[in-house]
Structure 1
Amino acid sequence: MNLISLFDAAGNKIDVSKYGLTGSGLVIPSPSYREERDSTPGRPGDILLGRDLEPRQLRAPFRVKAYDYESALLVRDELYALFSKAMYVGETKQPGKWWKVRMVEGFTPVRVSPTVFKIDVPLHCESGMAESFGTTGDALTWDVDKWQWGMGLSPDEFGYEKSASRFIIHNPGTETVNPRFMPLIISLKGVAASFVEIINHTTGETFCFNGALNASNTLSLNGVRPLLDGLSELRRTNKKLITLAPGANDIEVKGVAVERIFFDFRFYYV
């Protein structure tokens, strides 16, 4: 039984049987953190100034079986090429999560027989986090093969498209969704006379657009870029962003009669 799933950089699943691969289980270490500390004379201990998640070093052990010795040599070279590219890796028993990785250090095949060898591939995950396979743009139903138990999901309660001025957006992941380095798109349609404010009362953040909207306009925050109908509008904003904390985010929209607002993002887990 293969216990490791591989996907190319575009998210397409790689047929590991094509390479004769059988994964014995992805090895995922615990998270570790980089802390910045200071000390003050007369105060015992030290002061925590900041804490950031470190990258993770995963390992993917495989057994490789070829048809004959010559085929084993060809497969070996194909695997060198395969793992030299950025990819996603996941556990077949956890189909709702994957890790964005790249091979930094090399590996040496260990031959078991003329047609069988083993490899232990070191994979560097820069973010240190697993991502949900699906996004909020995918249906949150169990018949969609992108979700799993243990992700904090409750499809009956969650919804990411709203038509109200105040509502809750759930982030079931363990980590804050930060558009400075994570994909997050907030799209808004509605009518506004002179300004729009999107407020996350949970985090205390406010995005403000100083301009009018009509029914045909779409105002969006695409990562760090504020756009009106696809064109940059940074100069007419307060140059602030909205992040989504783990759990319930109390969102309010002011200055606009909301027709539709949609939050498109993935969930992140340590």
Structure 2
Amino acid sequence: MKVLHNFKIVYKNGTVYDMASDFNVLVRSFTISSPSPNIESETLDNGDGYIRMGKTWGPRKISALCMFSAVDDYDYALLVDKLFRVLMSRDEYYLISDAEPWRRWLVEISSEWSADQLGSSGEFQLSFVSASPYAESVGSSLSNFTTDVNLWGFGNGLFAEDYQYVHTDKAFHIYNAGDATVDPRNKPLKITIKSKKNISKVSIELYNSTTKDRWTYTGSMNTTLPIVIDGTRTVRSATSLTDKTNYGLITLAPGWNSIQVTGEEVAEVSFDFRFYYL
């Protein structure tokens, strides 16, 4: 029977380590804390209580209780060394739980740990922290949405819809299945705009009537190199075009976003982003 507490470590370069199959580790528990609320407030002069200014979410904590069995003392020491080498990376890496293989957490170890040895077996507790309060989808909006790709599952905000993230129409909807607004100032979002023809000067616009965000561009377009709104920058290949825009950004609220495109020269617009979950 598959143990759903098991998890994988995925480095940013794509290297994957499975706690069960690579280290013979049994993950006895895998616990994700709730978001940590940061309530912003101002105190009252000569008054009781405070004025609530808003709320933000702090980092998330994840803990795992693990045990393993080695062949002998030499094998025990080698296995512990291997775990140290993989887990104690200087860089962050992703954790993917077998219970929710379609979500991943960007984490790092937050405290030291050691294994309690009993014969050739060991037990240890791992504490991780995610700087973001959100898990993110393993797949992106441009991934295949069929069930056979194992990128999507129950609880991911997806239903029996025909989700489209590449459009040739001038008005369409973009669905954000997550709990958080995708804001390119703090979450990756790439919008690619292809042209029908080569033209030296044109004015185009993207408008999200759901969020009231507007992005405009005035300049040249060609059929070979698309214009890309990549995060907070607008580029064509390696050339920055940000100074030819209104410095606007398009954000995507949770749920459906209504997008309008102005400019007859626009042939296709695609949205590439992940979904973020509390």
- Do they superpose with TM above 0.5? yes
Cα deviation, 1:92-113, whole Å, max 9, x if unaligned, reads: 02111111100121112122x2
1:4/1:89 contact within 8 Å kept = no
Matched, 1:15 2:23: no
Following superposition, the deviation at residue 248 of structure 1 comes to 0.5
- Deviating runs (4+, > 3 A) in structure 1? 39-48, 214-217
Counterpart code for 1:73: A
2:263 matched residue in structure 1: 255
| Counterpart check, 1:187 vs 2:192 | yes
Of the three residues 243, 247, 259, the one matched with 2:251 is 243
Q: Does 1:106 align with 2:112?
A: yes
Query: Are 1:130 and 2:138 matched, yes or no?
Result: no
The structural deviation recorded for 1:182 is: 1.3
Determine whether 1:206 maps to 2:211.
no
Give the distance between the partners of 2:16 and 2:221, measured in 1 at CA.
42
Q: TM-score, normalised by structure 2?
A: 0.89
SS at match of 2:102: strand
Q: Secondary structure at the match of 2:263?
A: strand
**Is 1:156 the equivalent of 2:158?**
no
Checking the alignment, whether the CA contact within 8 Å between 1:197 and 1:255 is kept in structure 2 is yes
1:230 shift after superposition: 3.6
Deviates more, 1:192-201 or 1:159-168: 192-201
The amino acid across from 1:146 in the alignment is L
Structure 1: gaps (5+ residues): none
Aligned equivalents of 1:43, 1:264: Cα separation in 2: 49
Contact 1:25 1:91 in 2 (8 A): no
Partner in structure 2 of residue 64 of structure 1: 68
Give per-residue Cα distances to partners, 1:175-198, cap 9 Å, x unaligned.
111111211100011257521111
Distance 1:55 1:114 in 2: 37
Out of 136-145 and 205-214, give the one that drifted further. 205-214
What's the % identity of the aligned pairs?
A: 29
Distance of aligned partners of 1:230 and 1:256 in 2 relative to their CA distance in 1, 3 Å threshold: farther
User: What's the Cα RMSD here?
Assistant: 2.0
**SS of alignment partner, residue 32 of structure 2:** coil
Counterpart Cα distance in 2 of 1:45 and 1:206: 40
